[in-house]
Amino acid sequence: MTPVLLDCDPGHDDAIAIMLAAGDSAVDLLAITTVAGNQTLGKTTLNALRVCTLAGIRDVPVGAGCARPLTRPLRVAADVHGASGLDGPRFAEPTVRAVGEHAVDLVHRVLHEHPEPVTVVPTGPLTNIALLLTRYPGDAARIREIVLMGGSTERGNVGPYAEFNIFVDPEAAAIVFGSGVPVTMCGLNVTHQALVTPDVVARLEALGGELGPVCAELMTFFASTYRELWGFEAPPLHDPVAVARVIDPALVECVDAHVAIEVAGEHTRGATVVDLHGYLGHAPNAKVAVGLDVPRFWDRLVAALGRLNGRRGGG
C-alpha cells in the first residue's frame, strides 16, 4: 500500500478522488486536507466532511488549510460546482468533524509520524503544499513524490493557456514545481480523456447502497455545468486521474519534461509551460501525464467505490 496525503478543494471530482483513495486497496489514506479553490475554504471543508460521512471514512483526519492563495485574491468555480461547491444531491449533516490543526501542521505531523516517505496528492490550488514546503523545508525529504492534478500540455480551462488549480495560485505552483520534490503533473490534456459518459453514470448508479445514487447525482450535476459552459457531451473527471496514477502508474502514461509556471504573463498567467521537446535547455523537473488507460481507469474507480459501499453495508 502506498501512504497518501490528499489535499483537495471538493468539488465534484475531488469528492470522487477522496472515495477512490479511501476505497482502493493500493492506497493507505493517511489524511485529507482542504484548500480554497472550487469554493471558499469553509465550503470545501464542509464538502470533504460530507463525503467522509457519506462514504463512512471515519478513521482519516481532515484538516482545513488556506482560505486564499499566497498573494492573490481567491477565485472560485461556482459556475462549475455550484454555490455549495458540491451541488446536486442533498447531504445529511456531516458527523465527521475536522481536526483543529491547520492543514499544513497536520501534513507536517503526519509526514514525521509515518515511518516512510509519503505521496502527496494535491487536487486543488497548491497553496497548502507551497506553504508546507516554505514553513517546513525539511519536509521535502519526507515526501516520496507529489502527484497533482493541474496544468495542461495544451489549452486551459480558465484562460487560453491556464488551468484552474494553477491559475488560482500560480506562485504556489511555482514553489512546488521548483522545490526539487519529484512532481508528477496530471493535466487537462489527460484528464479530458476521463469522460463521465452515461455508461459510467449507469455503473455508478448500479453500485446502489449509500454511494451509488449520490455519486450518479453528483455526476449528473457536473455534466450539466460542463455541457452549459463548454458544450461537453460528458464531463471530465479530473482529480481521480492523479489518484489513479498513484494506485497503478501503468494507468497513466508519463514523460519527463521541464515545466515552468507563468506567474507574470499579461495573457498567460497560470500557464504550465511544458517543454516536451527540451527547446529551453532546462533539465526535466516533472513527470507529465500524456495518456490514460481509460477502460482500466473506470474499472478500478468503480471497483473502489463498490468496495467502499460494501464497507458501509451498501450495494
Interaction site with ligand RIB (CB under 6 A): 9, 11, 13-14, 37-38, 123-124, 149, 157, 163-165, 238-239
Half-sphere exposure of 198 (CA within 13 A, CB side): 1
Of residues 12, 108, 192, 238, which has the active-site annotation?
238
Please report whether residue 123 would count as binding Ca ion according to CB under 5 A: yes
Instruction: Say if residue 202 is exposed, middle or buried (CB neighbours under 10 Å; 0-12, 13-18, 19+).
Output: exposed
Please, which residue, 125 or 314, has the CB nearer to Ca ion? 125
Q: Which is nearer to ligand RIB, 17 or 96 (CB)?
A: 17
Task: Report the chain's C-alpha Rg in angstroms.
Answer: 18
Smallest Cα–Cα separation from 53: which of 10, 111, 13? 10
Report what 210 binds from ligand RIB, Ca ion, none; CB cut-off 5-8 Å by kind: none
- Give least dist CB 238 to Ca ion, A: 7
DSSP H stretches of helix in the chain:
12-23, 41-55, 78-81, 103-113, 127-135, 164-168, 170-177, 188-191, 198-205, 211-230, 239-247, 294-311
Q: How far is the CB of 60 from Ca ion (least distance, A)?
A: 18
Beta bridge partners of 145: 119
| Active-site residue, 108 included | no
Q: Which of 23, 88, 124, 314 binds Ca ion (CB under 5 A)?
A: 124
Residue among 29 and 241 whose Cβ is closer to ligand RIB: 241
Q: What span, in angstroms and rounded, lies between the C-alpha atoms of 78 and 65?
A: 20
What is the chain's length?
315
Q: Which is nearer to ligand RIB, 142 or 286 (CB)?
A: 286
Minimal distance, residue 109 CB to ligand RIB, in Å: 25
- Which listed residue (3, 11, 63, 236) binds Ca ion by CB under 5 A? 11
Residue 164 interacting partner from Ca ion, ligand RIB, none (CB closer than 5 to 8 Å by kind): ligand RIB
CB of 13 to ligand RIB, least distance (A): 5
* Other CB atoms within 10 Å distance of the CB of residue 41: 20
Grid coordinates representing 262 are: 507563468
Distance CA 135, CA 133 (A): 6
**164 in Cβ contact with 155 (< 8 Å):** no
Q: Is 34 or 157 the residue whose CB approaches ligand RIB more closely? A: 157
Binding pattern to Ca ion, positions 207-246, x when CB under 5 A? --------------------------------x-------
Does 122 bind Ca ion (CB under 5 A)? Our answer is: no
Say how many C-beta atoms besides its own lie within 10 A of residue 180's C-beta.
10
Instruction: Name the grid cell of 16.
Output: 470522487
Q: Does 85 bind Ca ion (CB under 5 A)?
A: no
The residues that are catalytic are: 238
Residues that bind Ca ion in the complex, under the rule CB under 5 A: 9, 11, 14, 123-124, 239
